Structure 1
Amino acid sequence: MTTTQRTAEPTASVQYAEVNGVNLYYEAHGAGGPMILLHGGLGSGEMFGPILPTLADGHQVILVDLQGHGRTADVDRPLDITLMADDVAALIDHLGLEKPDVVGFSLGGGVALQVAIRHPEKVGRLVSASANIRRSAIYPEMLQQQGQVSGAAAEFMKDTPMYELYQRVAPRPEDFPRLLDKIGEAMAKDFDYTEQVRGLQVPTLVVAADADMAPPSHFVEVFNLLDGGLRDGGWAGEGRPKGGHALAILPGLTHYDLVDSPLFAAVTLAFLDQES
């Protein structure tokens, strides 16, 4: 394991951890209760830049670049959120963390959910943002767009922030078409995590934009699976979900700007910092 310091972020500890055959890149920012922070597809931990100072004020935020993303090179296995969740669980062990909170957005939200499903004993609280638990919940026009994602689209993405980021930081910039192929294959697979979510043992905040990739009703459905939204909450909160779960639909946002929003930071911290 090596440690370097970025000149642009002198307080950030920048390191790699060998987990499950992946040389996983991560950065640690701030001090306090640990929070694992997981980015969206075709992004990296850098996508949390606008809200990172807020999150790291009172927490040790560990930004992870997931398999094949950012500064973490790809390996010979599919892009599967269950495998990436096992990577995060192994990182928690590698760092010797005691039940950190896990926060994820989009792809990272799905990975975060799987960390809590597969390794509940390793997680304190969970925030899963803009992560669908059924493929069929995604708007049909979005499914059609996802079906067009493949390495063949790399040439058309050269003016996008995703391409620019990958070319700037990836260990092998030439792997961008391969990443698109793997993302496309992953998005084409059907999935339904209803039963796994129903059994979640970790206090969970479900977050979505009010104009997200799936309708708000889908995220209410997830909240229902967690015993939420089924009755009046009561004067003293006695009717709230038994597992300590919560729901936040954030106004005026979309799937593409939620991660930049002070509202996302605010609801995340409010949930993580409340008394158990």
Structure 2
Amino acid sequence: MTGLIEARYLDVAGSTAYVEIAGTGTPVLCVHTAGQSGVQWRQTTARLAALGHQVVVPDLPGHGRSDPAPGGPVQDLQVYSDWCAALIDALGLDRPYVVGCSIGGKTVLDLAVRHGDRISGVVAMAAEASPGHVGLSGLRRELQDVAAPSRSDRTYLGTLAALGRSVPAELAERIARMHRREDPEVSVSDLIGWGTHDVRDGLKDIVCPVQLVAGADDPWIDTGRVRATAAEIPDGRHTVLEGIGHYPMEEMKDFAMILHGWLAELNTRDEVIA
């Protein structure tokens, strides 16, 4: 039944991942934004499944219900790209479509560059190929500031204090990190990844179709750079959404149907390439 959403915990690249799966049919992997979780796709998952897709929505390492990444908060979006590739293997997905927004958009664009032969197509929203516009020095300074007694840090320290002495230190750390949502260290690290990720040199070698999407009102995105990215991809196109900002899947009323249309177009183009 497409209305049911299955929740799974499974090992992916050395840590426990939380994944929601709905429907059967063409697999579609959906990747969330910086510091957030798969809950951002809550209005899309069941509806997209009802349209004939197997929808796979993970929480990236350190986000939502997934364990922290083995090496700590991630500052290199290639790590997320490789993790998504490992998730595809773990679930046995056959050349899925991949969709992402913001750091998720950059992550799926990275998948197209480095793992394009394993996927059928990409929808990269609120993303382009060059480094995102953020103040890296300020973000790195903010990583030092997260040691201040903020609300999330008090939760973190309070959780550690409330655990029994028999709990191993590694497990205690993992539990404490899971208790503070949106972890500011994870969010800031994600944004550092956003500001350093650059796949411009690999665009010409992408072998799957790519649809880039930008909201016209998105303050984080230069639509001209989105257009330029699409122009460098052999089968790349772009769409600008009027009146929409940085989070199309949360802002648009019937986003699932719109995404279904983009996926159908990608499928047609993938058949032509094949």
TM over 0.5: yes
Number of residue-to-residue matches in the alignment: 238
Cα displacement (A) at 1:65: 0.5
**Corresponding residue of 1:196:** 202
* Counterpart position of 2:63: 69
Measured at CA, do residues 147 and 156 of structure 1 come closer, stay the same or move farther in structure 2, by a change above 3 Å?
Answer: farther
Cα distance per residue 1:164-207 (max 9 Å; x no partner): xxxxxx95456649942244245345332211223211111101
1:155 paired with 2:147, answer no
2:53 pairs with 1:46 = no
Name the counterpart of 1:60: 54
Indicate which of 203, 211, 214 corresponds to 1:205.
Answer: 211
Letter in 1 for 2:27: P
Match of 1:100 in 2: 96
Cα distance per residue 1:70-115 (max 9 Å; x no partner): 0101033241321121111111111111101111111111111122
Deviates more, 1:142-151 or 1:184-193: 142-151
CA displacement at 1:254 relative to structure 2? 1.0
TM-score (norm 2): 0.75
Q: For residues 49 and 191 of structure 2, what CA distance do their matches in structure 1 show? A: 32
Task: Give deviations 1:48-70, integer Å, cap 9, x for gaps.
Answer: 11222332221110001101000
Identity level (%): 26
Q: What secondary structure, in the 3-state scheme, does the structure 1 residue paired with 2:197 have? A: coil
Counterpart of 2:243, as a letter, is: G
CA contact (8 A) 1:154 1:177 kept: no
CA contact (8 A) 1:14 1:27 kept: yes
| 1-structure distance, mates of 2:250, 2:182 | 25
Q: Which amino acid in structure 1 is aligned with residue 39 of structure 2? A: E
- Say whether residues 1:130 and 2:145 are aligned partners: no
8 Å CA contact 2:4–2:46 kept in 1: the answer is no
CA displacement 1:114-151 (0-9 Å, x = unmatched) = 2222212220111111123222x52x6x7787567532
The CA RMSD measured in Å over matched residues stands at 2.9
Q: Which residue type is aligned with residue 201 of structure 1? A: V
Contact 1:102-1:112 within 8 A present in 2 as well: yes
Question: Are 2:257 and 1:250 aligned?
Answer: no
**8 Å contact 1:66–1:72 — kept in the other structure?**
yes
Give the CA deviation at 1:39.
0.6
> What amino acid does structure 2 have at the position aligned with 1:45?
G
Letter in 1 for 2:188: G
Which structure's residues are more often helix, by fraction? 2
TM-score by length of 1: 0.75
SS for the counterpart of 1:252 is: coil
- Paired letter, 1:52: T
Residues 154 and 180 in structure 1, CA contact (< 8 A), matched pair in contact too: no
Secondary structure, counterpart of 1:273 in structure 2? helix
Using CA pairs below 8 Å that are at least 6 residues apart, which structure has the higher relative contact order?
2
Contact 2:152 2:180 (8 Å CA) reproduced: no
Secondary structure of 2:240 counterpart: strand
Residue 29 of structure 2 corresponds to residue 36 of structure 1: yes
Identify if the C-alpha distance between structure 1 residues 154 and 83 changes in structure 2 by more than 3 Å, giving closer, same or farther: farther
Q: Partner residue of 1:217?
A: 224
Q: Distance in 2 between matches of 1:220 and 1:263?
A: 24
Other-structure match for 2:9: 16
